[in-house]
Amino acid sequence: MSIVIKRTTTKNYEIVTIALDAFTYDAEFRRIRNQHKRQYSSCFSCQRNFTDGEKTSLTQLRGMPNELLCHDCAVKLQSELDNVNKERDNGNK
């Protein structure tokens, strides 16, 4: 019997932009991505694996490589980003 220590680390990522439904996750996407180090097979936010034919969204993170999001996470995060930008713009008036 062993004793396990479980540690969870949280990192914050600043979203710069989101391109909603930028790519379709399919055989062609996988073929192209297999030629690169990063293959993007799951959502950066919820970690769910993409399914064939699913629309994926590209997000630019400050100081990080671009990442892919599932449609649901992208829509949710885009709404939050829009609210933050609106509040920032209203504060500058």
pLDDT by residue for the chain (93 residues), tens only, comes to 789 888 888 899 999 999 999 999 999 999 998 888 888 899 999 999 999 999 999 999 999 999 999 999 999 999 999 999 888 888 766
- The pLDDT, as a whole number, for residue 2 is 85
Count of the separate structural domains present in the chain: 1
Classify residue 93: in a domain, yes or no: no
- The pLDDT, as a whole number, for residue 36 is 86
Residues in the chain: 93
Complete DSSP assignment for 38-82: ----B-TTT-PBP-TTEEEEEEEETTS--EEEEHHHHHHHHHHHH
- The pLDDT, as a whole number, for residue 57 is 98
Classify residue 90: in a domain, yes or no: no
- The pLDDT, as a whole number, for residue 90 is 86
Classify residue 92: in a domain, yes or no: no
Classify residue 83: in a domain, yes or no: no
Classify residue 86: in a domain, yes or no: no
Classify residue 5: in a domain, yes or no: no
The boundaries of the domain holding residue 57 are: 15-76
Amino acid at 29: F
- The pLDDT, as a whole number, for residue 89 is 85
- The pLDDT, as a whole number, for residue 25 is 96
Classify residue 88: in a domain, yes or no: no
Neighbour count for residue 48 (Cβ, 10 Å)? 12
Classify residue 33: in a domain, yes or no: yes
